[in-house]
Structure 1
Amino acid sequence: MLKTLASQVKEYKKASIITPIFIVCEVIMELLIPLLMSTLIDDGISTGNMKHVFIIGGVMVVIAALSLLFGVLSGKYAALASTGFAKNLRKSMYENIQSFSFSNIDKYSTAGLVTRMTTDVTNVQNSYQMILRMCFRAPMMLIVALIMSFTISKKLSSLFLIAIVFLGICLALIISNAHPIFMKVFKKYDDLNASVQENVNAIRVVKAYVKEDYEIKKFEKAADNVYKLFVKAESILSCNMPAMMLSVYGCILGLSWFGANMIVAGSLTTGQLVSLFSYVMNIMMSLMMLSMVFVMVTMSKASAERIAEVLEEKSDLTNPQNPDFEIENGDIDFNNVNFAYKKGSKKYVLQNIDLHIKSGETIGIIGGTGSSKSSLVNLISRLYDVSEGSVFVGKKDVRSYDIETLRNEVSVVLQKNVLFSGTIKENLRWGDKNATDEEIIRACELACANEFIDTLPNGYDTYIEQGGTNVSGGQKQRLCIARALLKKPKILILDDSTSAVDTATDAKIRSAFIKEIPNTTKIIIAQRISSIQDADKIIVLDDGKISGVGTHAELLENNEIYADVYNSQMKGDEKDYEITK
């Protein structure tokens, strides 16, 4: 974990190294002041030597000014190093997430990833800044102050060692009890963020069903869980300050008692006792800083582990050593494929899939909910890898291709259509960033998207809100189809992507595909038989197995599942017709 996080310091190594140097200089300056104070009192004030007082006083002012300068510089470079470190962590996590396969993404919740890139990184950033400043300042101050105090009186300085041992035991107990609770806290943060994210994304549904009170209670419960765990953790951490103060006051009382006796006995001067009091405060301050670092590290350790988990996650899907960068055609072959989402699991969601599709064919896929239609097509663009068997595209195993090349040639319009904030034109150019205006318009004509775009005041420059909330479901689907067509793929997969489109528009889109992209293999997953009945071949899936393959007429005659779906949909159409009459 430490190696993973340390590798993200990168270009901020210089600032990370300079910070401790300035801190060491600041500490040296600070610790010279009590030593000068001792000679100021013993050799100046006590003897009435004003010249000595002015000289030493002037030196102390210069040293204090230097200490201030070094302190400012250390703070500046610590801030630069910690914020830069946080920036690199966020960037590296985001880049690694982009490389994840679907199976990698399935391990994390969206809210969990958001928490790791925000709250967790902020915790680590604060901890790193504190480590840079205090982990060098405190030990340096502690060591130098102990050396200085031992040069004055070994007997009195032994009190400090007792205090250090006592405080160290207290900190070890506090940290060992607090860390497991903080691990639970950040998991509850994930639940809290998930509640907010779900509510905001589905706010229209919440209001439509008047479920605001229910959602408020759900959020309050998540917030209350975080609150309770934080109270528990902070209660343990709060023991740090009493232990700290007990050590400080114990040392002051010990110094006062034994120091006074030693002054009376003549083995210690007043100036030396004043210096020891200064050093005891330096030692105790350094211990307090160390305890604060330990507290912060305890809190951020849980965050650091969660960040490292994402950074160390390796994609399940990788390019072969010598990948193919050219796909010959749109042929697709499933060769005895079994597939399970969990590695090593024998609970296959697809079983014994043996299927062969020729380039340019139009294939329909139908099946009930949970029949693994989407799982089947996800294997073609290698969003997942098969558990057993193989999938071939263009006469080669998909695992032999460069992943980017494969996905550029296999264009998928997913079941959940997503548009991004930006203009319609900017969204469409996700398919081809160099697409001309003419190519964009032609793709929209094929997808029947031009029908509504032309009615918009700003046409193709109309701004799409985040998530496409200012366009209807059918409009969103047509834009996503147009975006996929701009890739000019060898294989086009529509995963239930015309469900929100009326039957007339659906028919127009399919007709345009036949005329305009005859050489592209077209796979259409649909719930409506009318959307696929003219396909060259229709595949019926049932519980992850192929129940039947054939034309519309052949399946009506030979496949009971297909015939039942067709008859139920035809009856539904007849009822609708009677109602309209």
Structure 2
Amino acid sequence: MLKLFRYMQPYRNAVLMVLLFTFLQCLAELYLPTLMADIVDIGILTGDIPYIWRVGGFMLLVAALGMLCSIAASYLAAKAASGYGQILRGRVFTHVGNFTLHEFDKLGTASLITRTTNDITQIQQVTIMMLRMMVIAPLMCVGGIIMAVSRDTGLTSVLLIVLPVLALAIFLIAKKGIPLFKAIQVKIDTLSRVVRENLTGMRVIRSFNRMSHEKVRFNDANEDLTATSIKVNKIMGAMMPIMMLVMNFATVAIVWFGGHRINAGHMMVGDLMAFLQYAMMIMFSLIMLSVMFVMIPRAQASAVRIQEVLSLVPEIKDTDKEPAATGQKGVVEFEDVTFYYPGAEEPALSNISFRTGPGEITAIIGGTGSGKSTLISLIPRFYDITSGRLLVDGVDVRDLKQEQLRSRIGLVPQKALLFTGTIADNIRYGKEDASMEEIQHAAEVAQAADFISKMEGGYEAVISQGGSNVSGGQKQRLSIARALVRKPEIYLFDDSFSALDFKTDAKLRAALREETGDAAVLIVAQRVSTVMDADRIIVLDEGRVAGIGTHAELMENSRVYREIVASQLSEEEIA
């Protein structure tokens, strides 16, 4: 947790002021029982009314100053901790944005969401408590002991018995509670994952009538978290009664022995009252520390999870050197590229070599699991190749900054993803400063203008979360428009026409050929009709190139391609 405190650097002045105001608050609270004792021993016993008014007024002033210091310290502590949480969330969000897909798979989306929200909130709340309690409790404890001893040394023997008992009770409770707090964070992760899978997969769950199975999964995760939470709350719930019992016994003992000392003339009534208040301060400070000792390990568990994210170095890093300009635009070249997924024994792609340039349409086809989407993912450097060279505009992608590389690419992913906002906002996601004319033109090329015009609000129609209020084909066309508005050098279509009917598919491909005439286009497709007119077709089979050429050439030379064509087209269509 201490490692994360470096992010509180911008609020160091606020933290110092919290320490100052807390110290002044402690001085005020420690001084009040002494003033009260003076009023009783000097003012009341002697009947000195002016002295009572004078010291009483001074007590009100000290109490008011203590209150103002407490308010100021609380405000600054909350401000510093909230700002710290904001910085921490920003750091985690930015760092996660640099992760490769492998790091996302390693940590898990549900866990990353929990760490960015719940875990940082835990750290933020404990930081507020630390800035207040971790400072005020030791000061009150030490100061209370000093002031109590100054009032009467004989009665401190009661404290010597009570305080170790209190400390032992706190230790035993904390020892049982701390491991459970750590376990709770892991169980929250599990529950978040189950809920997320349930909500995102609702259509599949309902279509297969698996609601009862999912309910069991949720109940198991929920009951596991609940049982642990109840267990830890039972342990923590026992703390306060035990503390109050010890404090009440201490109060009775102090009053009992103090009464005997007053009768014997060894102390005065005001001193007993002050001693009793100091004893309460000491014990309450121990209770505050006990709460902190329980909360800090929970925050520590969260801090470890946050530090795990921040210390995870992305496998893909930007280069420091500036690549030399080659004068090429829209050229993609694979030179004997082989790629293994992390931890895999067999390569996903083996010895891939081809070149495509501006004005060329290169289609990639193959069976399920042949490596089509993997090949496309290597171009924007979602993964780094294992061996060989992958060149974009004549430069190895590892020698380009990721932002430079991806600014040249317009990607339409296999799973069309839309963001909450208007249709115009979603298309403008490809180009932040796109004009309305550019947005409309991109939608027309993507064959999306017709259905957009029928929606209420047109381009200002709101897309709900995940694009749930539009069909799969409409999602794909909006995703294609988002790539088109960017006008990149390289277009990557990863099976982006699968939800379109044959008529829309044909019209879209014809419009794309005109629109992308000066760019390289790579299309991953399952349908032969989508790739037949491509300038170059690459046939993949188990991660290897099984043939490269036009449709006619592959029909003569590639057995794998002929099998794919035969499985989709009739003999008349093939002829």
C-alpha change, 1:168 and 1:325, in structure 2 (3 Å) is farther
Deviation string, structure 1 residues 200-231 (Cα, Å, up to 9, x no partner): 33444444555444433332222111101212
Q: Quote the residue 2:340 is aligned against.
A: 340
Could you tell me how far 1:301 is from its partner in structure 2? 1.8
Could you say if the C-alpha distance between residues 218 and 571 of structure 1 is closer, same or farther in structure 2, counting changes exceeding 3 Å? farther
Distance in 1 between residues matched to 2:323 and 2:184, nearest whole Å? 47
> d(CA) in 2 for partners of 1:445 and 1:42?
92
Could you list the per-position Cα deviations for residues 145-166 of structure 1 after superposition, in whole angstroms to 9, with x for gaps in the alignment? Answer: 1111122233432443454444
One-letter code of the match for 1:335?
Answer: E
Shift of 1:48: 3.0
**Residues 254, 465 of structure 1: CA spacing in aligned structure 2 closer, same or farther, 3 A cutoff?**
same
**Counterpart position of 1:76:** 75
**Is the 8 Å Cα contact of residues 366 and 539 (structure 1) preserved in structure 2?**
yes
The one-letter amino acid paired with 1:472 is S
Distance 1:142 1:347, change over 3 A: farther
Contact 2:476 2:496 in 1 (8 A): yes
Q: Give 1:128 shift.
A: 1.0
- Classify the secondary structure of the residue corresponding to 1:487: coil
- Pair 1:439 & 2:438 matched: yes
The answer as to 2:325 corresponding to 1:331 is: no
Tell me the equivalent position of 1:2.
2
In structure 1, the partner of 2:492 is 493
Contact 1:175 1:298 in 2 (8 A): no
TM-score by length of 1: 0.91
The Cα shift of 1:47 comes to 3.0
1:31 equivalent in structure 2 = 30
Compared with structure 1, are the counterparts of its residues 350 and 469 closer, same or farther at alpha carbon in structure 2 (3 Å cutoff)?
same
8 A contact 1:36–1:60 mirrored in 2: yes
Describe the shift of the 1:275–1:124 C-alpha distance in structure 2 as closer, same or farther (beyond 3 A).
Answer: same
Could you say which residue in structure 1 is the equivalent of 2:121?
122
1:332 corresponds to which letter in structure 2?
V
Q: The residue matched to 2:370 in structure 1 has which SS?
A: coil
Partner-residue secondary structure (3-state), 2:46: coil
Letter of the 1:458 partner, please give it.
G
- Secondary structure of 1:471's aligned partner: coil
Which position in structure 1 is the counterpart of 2:301? 302
1:106-159: CA deviations, max 9, x gaps? 222222222222222221221111111111111111111111112223343244
Tell me what 1:401 maps to: 400
**CA displacement at 1:534 relative to structure 2:** 2.0
1:107 equivalent in alignment to 2:106: yes
Q: 1:494 is aligned with what amino acid?
A: F
TM-score, with length taken from structure 2: 0.92
Distance in 2, Cα, partners of 1:172 & 1:546 = 66
In 1: Cα distance, 2:145 partner to 2:435 partner: 74
SS at 1:522's partner residue? strand
Provide the C-alpha distance between the structure 1 equivalents of 2:471 and 2:198, rounded to a whole number of angstroms: 20
- Counterpart of 1:283 in structure 2 is 282
1:349 and 1:161 mapped to 2: Cα distance? Answer: 71
Distance 1:563 1:158, change over 3 A: farther
Residue 73 of structure 2 corresponds to residue 48 of structure 1: no
Partner residue, 1:577: none
Give the CA deviation at 1:307. Answer: 2.2
Instruction: Report the Cα distance in structure 2 between the residues aligned to 1:168 and 1:392, rounded to whole angstroms.
Output: 67
Q: Say if 1:425 and 1:461, in contact at 8 Å, map to a contact too.
A: yes
- The Cα of 1:247 is off from its aligned counterpart by 4.0
Does structure 1 conserve the Cα–Cα contact (< 8 Å) formed by 2:323 and 2:395? no
| Offset, 1:311 | 3.0
1:27, distance to aligned residue in structure 2 (A): 1.6
- Of 20-29 and 303-312, more deviation after overlay is shown by 303-312
Task: Give the alignment of 1:527-566 within 5 angstroms.
Answer: 527-566=526-565
What are the equivalent positions in structure 2 for 1:181-196 lying under 5 Å apart? 181-196=180-195
Any conservation in 1 of the 2:182–2:297 contact (CA below 8 Å)?
A: no
1:33-84 CA-partner distances (Å, limit 9, x unpaired) = 1112222222222233333323222222222222222222222222222222
Runs of 5+ in structure 1 lacking a partner?
Answer: 575-581
**Equivalent residue number for residue 201 of structure 1:** 200
The letter for the 1-side match of 2:530 is S
SS of 2:441's equivalent in the other structure is helix
Whole-Å separation in 2 of the counterparts to 1:450 and 1:227: 51
Quick check: 1:179–1:299 contact (8 Å CA) kept in 2? Answer: yes
Q: Which residue of 1 aligns with 2:482?
A: 483
Please name the residue that 2:513 is paired with.
Answer: 514
For the residues of structure 2 that align with 1:238 and 1:572, how far apart are their CA atoms? 78
**1:460 partnered with 2:459:** yes
234-243 or 126-135, which deviates more: 234-243
Q: Does 1:147 align with 2:146?
A: yes
- Measure how far apart 1:406 and its partner are: 0.8
Q: Partners in 1 of 2:403 and 2:535 — Cα distance?
A: 29
* Letter of the 1:86 counterpart: G
Cα shift at 1:103: 2.2
Deviates more, 1:155-164 or 1:300-309: 155-164
Question: 1:578 maps to which residue?
Answer: none
In structure 2, the residue corresponding to 1:321 is in which secondary structure? coil
Query: In 2, are the aligned partners of 1:419 and 1:480 still within 8 Å (CA)?
Result: yes
Could you tell me whether the CA contact under 8 Å between 2:358 and 2:517 is conserved in 1? Answer: no
Q: Choose 322-331 or 398-407, whichever is displaced more.
A: 322-331
What SS does the aligned partner of 2:338 have?
strand
| Per-residue deviation, 1:422 | 1.9
> Per the alignment, in what secondary structure is the counterpart of residue 539 of structure 1?
strand
1-structure distance, mates of 2:115, 2:372: 33
